Amino acid sequence: MIFFFVMSFSVFAAAQWSSDPMQNLALADQVGADQVQPKVKPLPNNGWYVSWFDSNPNSPPPVGYNVQLQRLNSGGYEQLPHDGVQVADLSNTSTEDYGLDFDTKGNALLAFLDTREGSNQQVTAARMSPEGKALWGTLGVQLTDDSASNASPKIAGTSDGNIVVAWTSNSEVVLQKLSPAGHPLWGKGIHLAESGYDIFLADLHAADNGSVIVSWVREQGFGSDVYLEATKISAHGQGLWGNAPTVIYNGGSLQFGEFPYFVSDGSGGAVFAWYSNSPTLQCFAQHIRADGSAAFPANGAVASTNSTRVRVSPSVSYNAATDETFLFWTEEDSQQVYNGIYGQKFDGSGNLKWGQNGLVVVPLGSDQQIFVRNVEIGGGALVFWVDQQSYTAATIQAARLGDSGKVLCPQFAVSSFAASKAGLSADITPYHLAAVAFQDYRNGNSDIFIQNVNSNCTLGQKTEFTKPGR
């Protein structure tokens, strides 16, 4: 991939990465506004795209949850105006999941539900330059124009320079490929459906040779078992894993309302994580290789064999160099009163490498340990979570573990200002600069903050970065 970025400081570069966990970098802090659902995407030059929804009651009509975008350079300096540039001025009174990615030219890609085309929410894609210019116009590319129940679109920049958008339409999943100019390339789109079942989009990522991998949950209505499935679609819209869906999990039922994400393995495959609610609350991982074969046992590898406890809300990362998968989750007692943070490493076949019960990061206690996220780093993992003492008093904590499970950085604060926190989104650049964006209520309303973490677990600017790889 070739990326074009102008890295000179702009007039907007007023802030930078904070070295103080009490003073995280504010990206959106308008008084009285509700700023929610941040997403982060690392760029090859240690920069970042960050997006979120922003509903400001003091803004000109229509008042709704607008789509905002910010770009940061490696030092944490805002490259666009503070509070971000507006991607779409919407009247949406609530939000759903949406998509953020970038293309081979370094332009930001966003997909979201849009109220500007009528009362029924439609699916729109936007392509924004690094300077914040709307390359597809202020209205973007409208992908639907119907009365269907459209939901939770995702977007992926493919390796051939094009863009794929996926969304839920009623009880099926639809995909459309767009050229860099925004022209549809797959006719009326690819429709994925299963007779007698409702399927809902879970996640979408680019794979190899211009292809994408798409996942969804399948059910037969409220109260039925919920399964997880996926497929891979070529650059020309052909199924690469056969005509039948690849079953990721049908050994029980996913937690109702869970739409598990996955991560790319960098070689045309994908690594999945999810948790079930029957026959018990349990976390799983699965690696589907580029040819569609499962590296782990059918229905995934369990995180822990400890049957006296339960576990929920896993986060997965993958080390391509060693073919190892890292999974972290919230561990709970059988009554779900006390909880902590546990982790597990799987080898390339799904064998447990950190013991049958996993590795203890935070032992069970009365604080709520939630919103777990982890990224692979240096052969191990950096894990983030919210330590919630009460609903209005929470901090963000982190720890770094090595390949063997040895604690390389004991628990440290990423955001120590005690306030309600939610919506963590974490990722890491090829040069081992990690960042976590989050919602924070320290100012009385939901603002968007971000904090970097260097490879040595320090916060703030760093002049030298670890080379890609280990």
Of 57-61, 111-115, 169-173, 398-402, the poorest mean pLDDT is in 57-61
Judge whether residue 118 has pLDDT over 90: no
Give the pLDDT score at 326: 98
Question: Mean pLDDT across the chain, nearest whole number?
Answer: 94
Q: How confident is the model at residue 420 (pLDDT cuts 50, 70, 90)?
A: very high
What values do phi and psi take at 224, rounded to 5? -85, 165
pLDDT digits (tens, 9 = 90+) for 340-360: 999 999 999 999 999 999 999
Judge whether residue 1 has pLDDT over 70: no
pLDDT digits (tens, 9 = 90+) for 257-286: 999 999 999 999 999 999 999 999 999 999
pLDDT digits (tens, 9 = 90+) for 125-170: 999 999 999 999 999 999 999 999 999 999 999 999 999 999 999 9
Q: Span 31-54, mean pLDDT?
A: 96
Judge whether residue 193 has pLDDT over 60: yes
Q: Span 89-117, mean pLDDT?
A: 96
Q: How confident is the model at residue 62 (pLDDT cuts 50, 70, 90)?
A: confident
Handedness of CA 72, 75, 77, 83 (dihedral sign): positive
Give the pLDDT score at 5: 34
Query: In terms of pLDDT, which residue wins out, 2 or 432?
Result: 432
- C-alpha–C-alpha distance, residues 401 and 173, integer Å: 38
Handedness of CA 37, 39, 382, 457 (dihedral sign): negative
Q: How confident is the model at residue 222 (pLDDT cuts 50, 70, 90)?
A: confident
Give the pLDDT score at 2: 37
Which of 16, 57, 15 has the alpha carbon at shortest distance from 35?
A: 57
- C-alpha–C-alpha distance, residues 164 and 141, integer Å: 12
Q: Span 326-337, mean pLDDT?
A: 97
Give the pLDDT score at 119: 81
Phi-psi region for residue 264, left (φ > 0), alpha (ψ -120 to 50) or beta? beta
Judge whether residue 14 has pLDDT over 70: no
Q: Span 325-341, mean pLDDT?
A: 97
Query: Percent of the chain at pLDDT above 90?
Result: 91
Give the pLDDT score at 9: 37
Query: In terms of pLDDT, which residue wins out, 400 or 462?
Result: 400
Q: How confident is the model at residue 8 (pLDDT cuts 50, 70, 90)?
A: very low
SS3 annotation, 188-254: CCEEECCCCCEEEEEEEEECCCCCEEEEEEEECCCCCCCEEEEEEECCCCCECCCCCCEEEECCCEE
The tokens for 192 are: 């994925």
- C-alpha–C-alpha distance, residues 101 and 126, integer Å: 11
- C-alpha–C-alpha distance, residues 286 and 300, integer Å: 5
Q: How confident is the model at residue 470 (pLDDT cuts 50, 70, 90)?
A: very low
Give the pLDDT score at 357: 97
The tokens for 467 are: 């080379």
Q: How confident is the model at residue 3 (pLDDT cuts 50, 70, 90)?
A: very low
Q: Span 442-448, mean pLDDT?
A: 96
Q: Span 378-399, mean pLDDT?
A: 97
Query: Percent of the chain at pLDDT above 70?
Result: 95
Q: How confident is the model at residue 467 (pLDDT cuts 50, 70, 90)?
A: low
pLDDT digits (tens, 9 = 90+) for 406-417: 999 999 999 999
